[in-house]
A and B are shown apart, each in its own frame.
Chain A
Amino acid sequence: MKKSVYKSAMSHLKTSENFQEATYNKLMKHKETMNMELSKKRKVIGWTVGIAACAALAVGIITLNQDAPASTPSSQPTTSVMTKPPTMGKMAVNIDGIISEVCEDGKSFKVGELWVDVTDQTKLGSSEPTAAKPSDELLQKKFEVGDIVSGYTSQDVSTGKVTADVIYNLIAPEKEDEAQDSEAKPAVQGKVAVNIDGVISEVSEDGNSFKVGDLWVTVTQETKMGIDGPTTAAPSEELLQKEFKVGNIVSGFTTDDVSTGKVNATNIYNNMAPQQ
C-alpha cells in the first residue's frame, strides 16, 4: 500500500465545513450553561446555609428563652433564664415570686414549681458596690408562706430543686387590714379651711349667726371658741365677747364650703368690740 494514497484519501474525506466554528459555539454555549448552573448552585448553597444558620439561631434563642418570664408584671411566681456574657458560659435563673410552701427546717421554700434550698453558700442581700445594706424589712430572716422572694440560682432548674446562689429580698406581704386602710384613705389627707376675718355687718335675730362680708356664719355648739394651744393664754372677755354685735371684729375659720354663702364656724378665735 502506498502511504501517500491512504493519507491523501483520508485528507480528502469530506467533513462538515463549519465543524470547528459550530463546535466552538456549542462549547461556549455549554460553558455559559455550566457557569449559570454553578452560579445557581452557589446561590442555592448560600441560601441553604443562610436559612440553616437562621434556623439554628432561632432554635438557640427559643431554647434559651423558653422559660423566660412574661413581659408584664405578674404576682404569679415565675422563673426566667438570663444569660451571662458568652465568655462565662454559665446560665443564671431568676428566683422571683411568692413562697407557696416552706420546708419544716425553714431552709427550703417553694416558688412556683421550684424548690429552692438556702444554704451557707447562699448570699443574702446584694453585694453590688452601690447597693444599700439590706434592711430587716426587705430581707427577713425567716422564710414564710406568702413572702415575696427574689434572687437567682446557677443550677439546672429542670430538676425542680436548686440551691439559691443569692437571695436579694425576702419581703413579708402587707397585712390585709393595713392594705384595706391604705386603699380606703388617700395617701395625703387634706381639707380646705377658710378664714373668717372681718367686721360683723348683720346679726341674726337669735344672735347665733352673723354676716361678715357676703358670708353668713353660724356659731353652733360644735364651734370651738378661743385658741386652744399649750402656750396660748385663756381667752379674755374683751377679746372674745359672748354676744355677736354689728361692728364687732371677728376672726376664726370654717371648713365648710363658702360658695354656698352660709357656713358653720369651726373655730372663732376673737370677737372684739370696736375701739371707741
Chain B
Amino acid sequence: MYNSFELNESVRRALDLYSPSLIRIAFAYLKNTADAEEVAQDVFLAYLQKRPVFDNGEHEKAWLIRATMNRSKNMLKAGWFRSRNPVPEDLSYLPKEESDVLQAVLALDKKYRIPIHLHYYEGYSIQEIATILEAKPATVGTWMARGRAILKEKIGGIEDEEVCL
C-alpha cells in the first residue's frame, strides 16, 4: 500500500515511462489519437484508484497494457463509438514510407493488428504476447504469420523474417 506521496510519485513515474506505449496500444485498437489518449487517462485513473501493488516494473507495465486493451475494447463496443463516423487520422505529417506501413497495419483485422503491434513496436516475443492476450502461443504465431502475409502483399517485406516461437 502506498502513502499519498508515494502514490503521487508512482503515478508520475508510470506516466513518464508508460504513457507513450499505452497511447500507441490504444491507437492500434481505436485508430484515433484523441480516443487513445482518453483511454490512457482512464487507465491511469484506475491505477490511482485501485493502487495495485506490483512485483516489478514489467509486472506494472503488463498490468497497464492489459488495462489499456480492455478499455480500448470496451470503447470499440460502445454504441456511441460504433455509430459515429470519425474523420480518419491524418498521418500526412509522417514520411510516406512510414505512413504507408502504418496505414497498412491499421487496415489489418484487429486479431492480427495487435500481436503485430506488440511484437514490432513493444518488442514482445510470441510467448509474452500470448500471456498478455491470454491466448496460446501457437495461435499468436498463426495470427502474426497471417498478418505479415497480408502486409507483404500490400507493402512488401523482409523475405527471410520469421517469427520465433
Contacts and interface: CB of A to CB of B under 8 A. Distances in A.
A12 interface: yes
B27 A1 contact: no
Interface in A1-48: 1-3, 5-10, 12-16, 19-20, 23-24, 26-28, 30-31, 34
Contacts of B152: 1
A9 B15 contact: no
Interface residues of A, number: 24
Contacts of A5: 97-98, 101
Quick one: which of A13, A19, A28 has the most chain B CB within 10 A? A13
A27 B10 CA distance: 12
B16 interface: yes
B151 A1 contact: yes
Nearest to A28: B8
Contacts of B127: none
A27 B11 CA distance: 9
B119 to A, nearest CB: 9
B1 interface: no
B15 A15 contact: no
A15 B98 contact: no
Interface size class of B (residues with CB under 8 A): 35 or more
A25 B45 CA distance: 11
Contact of B27 (A13, A16, A26, A27): A13
A10 B33 CA distance: 11
B142 interface: no
Interface in B25-76: 27, 33, 36-37, 40-41, 44-45, 48-49
B19 interface: yes
B102 A23 contact: no
Contact of A15 (B23, B48, B102, B120): B23
Contacts of A14: 33, 93
A1 B157 contact: yes
Contacts of B156: 1
Nearest to B105: A6
Contact of B19 (A3, A19, A31, A34): A19
B157 A2 contact: yes
A6 B101 contact: yes
Given A9-B99, A9-B101, A31 B48 contact: yes
A20 B157 contact: no
Contact of A24 (B11, B99, B101): B11
Contacts of A12: 93-95, 98
Contacts of B99: 9
Contacts of B27: 10, 13
B29 to A, nearest CB: 13
Nearest to A1: B157
A15 B8 CA distance: 23
Interface in A80-115: none
Nearest to A12: B94
B45 A15 contact: no
Given A19-B23, A20-B19, A23-B19, A3 B120 contact: yes
Q: Which 10 A-B pairs have the closest CB atoms?
A: A9-B98, A9-B102, A1-B157, A6-B120, A5-B101, A20-B15, A10-B121, A1-B151, A23-B41, A10-B24
Interface of B: 7-8, 11-12, 15-16, 19-20, 23-24, 27, 33, 36-37, 40-41, 44-45, 48-49, 91, 93-95, 97-99, 101-102, 104-105, 116-117, 120-121, 148, 151-152, 155-158, 161
Given A9-B98, A12-B98, A16-B37, 20 more contacts: A1-B101, A1-B120, A1-B151, A1-B152, A1-B155, A5-B101, A6-B121, A8-B98, A9-B101, A10-B102, A12-B94, A13-B23, A13-B24, A13-B27, A13-B102, A16-B33, A19-B37, A20-B16, A23-B19, A24-B11
